[in-house]
Structure 1
Amino acid sequence: MDTGHITDVWDRVFGIQPDPPPWLVVVTAVVALAVITPYRAWRLSRNAITIAHEGGHGLVALLSGRRLSGIRLHSDTSGLTVSRGKPTGLGMILTAAAGYVTPSLLGLLGAWLLASGHITALLWGATALLAAMLLMIRNAYGVLTVVLAGAAFFLVSWLTAPEVQAAFAYAVVWFLLLGGVRPPFELQGKRRRGRAGDSDPDQLARLTRVPAAVWLGLFHVVTLCSLAGGGRWLLDV
């Protein structure tokens, strides 16, 4: 392969792109909020949060030395990640704790990349993560959603103008930051109605003897702080 072509691709992916105009940052935040707030829009867009949630479980399971058996994503926006290893201990605790905070932490990382001007690197990084996750998906609906998400990131990064890439990247990051806040509140409501007896906080309570309410509070803190910090980076304030 021509080394000049390789250099061009490298510069395209890892080079620094100019900051978008402030109005675009604000508009993409409004768009993200518009697909999170209404219930019908959220029922569809929440699939993207579920991908990040289950991907967080899976990634931390691998990093903590557990064996990842597979990930399932369902049309009702629920998901399941199965890993093998010790049923107790730090690895299991970290794996269980990762899900609800991963979308917000990914959004925070994305906000840092955008603030640094690495728009294309963010798009390609997301494509790579989704491609790796695809290898562990174990149901047809999960394959479909991950393939569509990965294709969207790849096509935008490869075929569109820098302005379109910036708008897409900022909308995605705003969506992760804003959308990551809602699931802990939804879980809190379900637990109050007695409908989530085997949720992640309940599993963590059994593993650590720390009350589930404390874990849920931690999820709130992480997601809200990520939104505050990521929002400051995106808005450059």
Structure 2
Amino acid sequence: MGKRVGPVESLDELWSWVAASDGQSWSAMTIGAAVVALLLVGWRRTWRITRHVITIVHEAGHALVALLTGRRLAGIRLHSDTSGVTVSVGRPTGPGMVFTSLAGYIAPSLVGLGLAALVAAKRTELTLWLSIGLLVAMLVVIRNVFGVISIVLTGAVFFLVSWYADQSVQAAFCYLVAWFLLFGGIRPVGELQRKRRTGQAKDSDADQLARLTRTPGILWVGLFGVVSIAALLFGGGLLLGTA
């Protein structure tokens, strides 16, 4: 970061200095965003709230793959306990159902990886408006009031940042979202396995996949974990400029 001469006279001036593109600005912005994202995911009190964003992306993953595999999307419901359900109509078995069930837990990490690539390419506005577009598309298939509120509030945050924030704030926000999805894609996998061990998740995505493919559910949990960790490593490398 460039050397300053004299005191910082305002928060705006301080932020402009931190976000300045001088060859090392990524270290302050990227690492700062990573630390905040890690706190949002790792601290239980914030995770209870921010996990709703992970659920939105999780269910969007199910919905998108259901459509891509030829299934008819009946609707999505998001619940206040951060759970969700996506209902699609089609064959109860076969590749379409397998891929649809597989998509949920890996969606946040893969979306985070995609956003990391866009942010690393300095496509901040595209990142924001793609996110808004996906939320608007998802709003059409939400089938409960809490789900509508969740989507509208999340979309409002993205819109306010895209419309009113300056470029440096937009960039910092996009870094934060990318890091949050990359970190946030991992924690639910561990939570899933803990629930499976205690018999609280007998109809989880992993167990549905186990029944569909006649393989142990733990293999699918492992696959979720491998994809999520790989996305974090590669996406983090992109955000840090090392990939």
TM-score (norm 1): 0.91
Q: Which residue of 2 aligns with 1:89?
A: 94
- Retained in 1: the 8 A contact 2:26–2:240? no
Alignment of 1:60 with 2:65, yes or no, is yes
Equivalent pairs counted in the alignment come to: 220
Q: Which residue of 2 aligns with 1:159?
A: 164
Structure 1: which 5+ runs fail to align?
1-17
Alignment of 1:196 with 2:197, yes or no, is no
Alignment of 1:110 with 2:115, yes or no, is yes
Alignment of 1:44 with 2:68, yes or no, is no
Q: Which amino acid aligns with 2:120?
A: A
Distance in 2 (alpha carbons) for counterparts of 1:133 and 1:201? 24
Alignment of 1:132 with 2:132, yes or no, is no
Superposed structure 1 runs of 4+ greater than 4 Å apart: none
TM-score (norm 2): 0.89
Q: Which residue of 1 aligns with 2:11?
A: none
Aligned mate of 1:232, from 215, 224, 237: 237
Sequence identity of aligned pairs in percent? 56
Q: Which amino acid aligns with 2:79?
A: H
Q: Which amino acid aligns with 2:32?
A: V
Q: Which residue of 1 aligns with 2:36?
A: 31
List per-residue Cα deviations over 1:60-88 (Å, max 9, x = no partner): 00111000000000000000100000001
Alignment of 1:71 with 2:66, yes or no, is no
Larger-gyration structure (1/2): 2
List per-residue Cα deviations over 1:107-141 (Å, max 9, x = no partner): 00011111111111001000000000000000000
Q: Which residue of 2 aligns with 1:149?
A: 154
Q: CA deviation at 1:186?
A: 0.4
Aligned mate of 2:177, from 138, 153, 172: 172
Say which SS state the counterpart of residue 77 (structure 1) adopts: coil
Distance in 2 (alpha carbons) for counterparts of 1:147 and 1:153? 10
Distance in 1 (alpha carbons) for counterparts of 2:134 and 2:165? 21
Distance in 1 (alpha carbons) for counterparts of 2:164 and 2:104? 32
